[in-house]
Structure 1
Amino acid sequence: MASPLEDDQDTPTPPQTRERPSLLIDIAVALLLLVADAVIVAVATMLFVMVGMGSAQPPRSSATTHSRDVPVLIWLVVWGVPAVAVTGAVVHARLRMPVSAVVQSLFALTCAFLAVIWTRMLLS
């Protein structure tokens, strides 16, 4: 008689663990993200300076209060970028890429700082 086929359900299955990416890949991804993040921060800072200088009143003009409605899309961009940056940092941490996670966390902090500055500028 032939032996019955063994059922796979009876044998315990080891939990699947994610393999950690190599440190070299982590550093390469972190360097690419660092360059991209630096470009984004530089462009945002230049936009801040250009828009701030463009909306500044001449020194001898009368200080009249004027209310400007800021479109919702601008608020979504100003506060959406830090939210996406935080999400990126969490994703890299979950992927067990510590160097990339640190780079993305610093970028998220920088984006939050710039968002506060943009908010102050838009509300003034």
Structure 2
Amino acid sequence: MASPPADDQDFPTPPRRERPSRLIDVAVALLLLVADAVIVVVAALLLVAVGMGTAPSPHSSRPEHSRGTPVLAWFVIWGVPAVAAVGAFVYARLRMPATAVVQGLFTLVCALLAVAWTRMLLS
């Protein structure tokens, strides 16, 4: 039996990561789907509640003064879609396609909610 060339022996090939089983991928995707749905529903309800609370009263004759939005609120509003995007990328790198798709859709919904929150807060 012939031995491999000397330069191949110096650099062993890195072990290839096994992808998680399809059952684990689907289970994690379903768990995240439920958690993401709760987050989206709560964010949408908060959007409606805050929007209705900041709307000017039709009986009020004087305009309300504009108040600034705290920086922390902007970090939360735009941080959630950013974290969701990182999560989708990580699951894609872990070769968990079902979970990556769920997190990708959650990222899209979070970005749409962030745009709605931004429009509401700036108006």
Q: Shared topology, TM-score over 0.5?
A: yes
Bigger fraction of residues in helix: 2
CA distance in 2, matches of 1:111, 1:15: 37
Shifted more, 91-100 versus 48-57: the winner is 48-57
Q: Which residue of 2 aligns with 1:5?
A: none
CA distance in 2, matches of 1:121, 1:11: 61
Q: Report deviation, 1:57.
A: 1.2
The reply to whether residue 45 of structure 1 matches residue 44 of structure 2 is yes
Q: Report deviation, 1:61.
A: 2.9
Q: TM-score, normalised by structure 2?
A: 0.87
Larger radius of gyration: 1
Where does structure 2 lack aligned partners over 5 or more consecutive residues? 1-7
Q: Which residue of 1 aligns with 2:83?
A: 84
Q: Which residue of 1 aligns with 2:5?
A: none
Shifted more, 58-67 versus 87-96: the winner is 58-67
Q: Report deviation, 1:16.
A: 1.6
Shifted more, 86-95 versus 13-22: the winner is 13-22
Q: In the alignment, residue 116 of structure 2 is paired with which amino acid? A: I
Count of residues in Structure 1 that have an aligned counterpart in Structure 2: 116
Q: Which residue of 1 aligns with 2:71?
A: 72
Secondary structure at 1:120 match in 2 = helix
CA RMSD across the alignment: 1.6
1:3-24 CA deviation, whole Å, 9 max, x = no partner? xxxxxx9465233211000000
Q: TM-score, normalised by structure 1?
A: 0.87
Give aligned-pair identity as a percent: 67
Q: In the alignment, residue 54 of structure 1 is paired with which amino acid? A: G
Where does structure 1 lack aligned partners over 5 or more consecutive residues? 1-8
CA distance in 2, matches of 1:63, 1:13: 76
